[in-house]
Amino acid sequence: MVEREFSISAVPAHVENGTIAFHLDNAGRIEHEFLILRTDLPETKLPLKPSEDPGGDQVDLLGPGIQTVEYNEDDIPSNSVLNFSLKLPRGRYILICNRPGHYVQGMHVTLTLG
């Protein structure tokens, strides 16, 4: 997977369920986050924090229809790589960067398992 301003790409977009090896390359010029959300909601229609809250242009991780599966608390520095493995069941996942403004500018992609 590759993150950059303002997109995330996942190849392939459909994999078998089980243990998934993630190789995330931040090819952008700034730091990014990496979150895995399990949801059946459309990729571009995740609930946002209320606009009057700080970060109102961020996904509400406690919003309806979202289950946060993996949250990397540390920002991923530009031009760096994050490798990890995670066992995931069959389902539909949305991978996002949730730094202010990044999701709404297009930093999301769907990954289907199973």
Average pLDDT over residues 6-26: 85
Q: Over the stretch 69-106, which tens digit does the pLDDT of each residue have?
A: 987 767 899 999 989 899 999 999 999 999 988 999 99
What confidence score (pLDDT) does residue 55 get? 59
Q: What is the DSSP letter of 114?
A: -
Sign for the CA dihedral angle at 17, 73, 62, 35 comes to negative
Pairing of strands 80-88, 14-15: unpaired
Number of C-alpha atoms within 13 angstroms, CB side, residue 85?
Answer: 6
DSSP-derived secondary structure for 47-113 = -B--TTSTTTTSB-TTSTT-EEEEE--S-B-TTEEEEEEEEE-SEEEEEE--STTTTTTT-EEEEEE
Q: Supply the mean pLDDT for the chain.
A: 89
Closest CA to 108 of 27, 23, 99: 99
The band of 33, judged by pLDDT with boundaries at 50, 70 and 90, is very high
37-55 residue pLDDT tens? 999 999 999 999 887 666 5
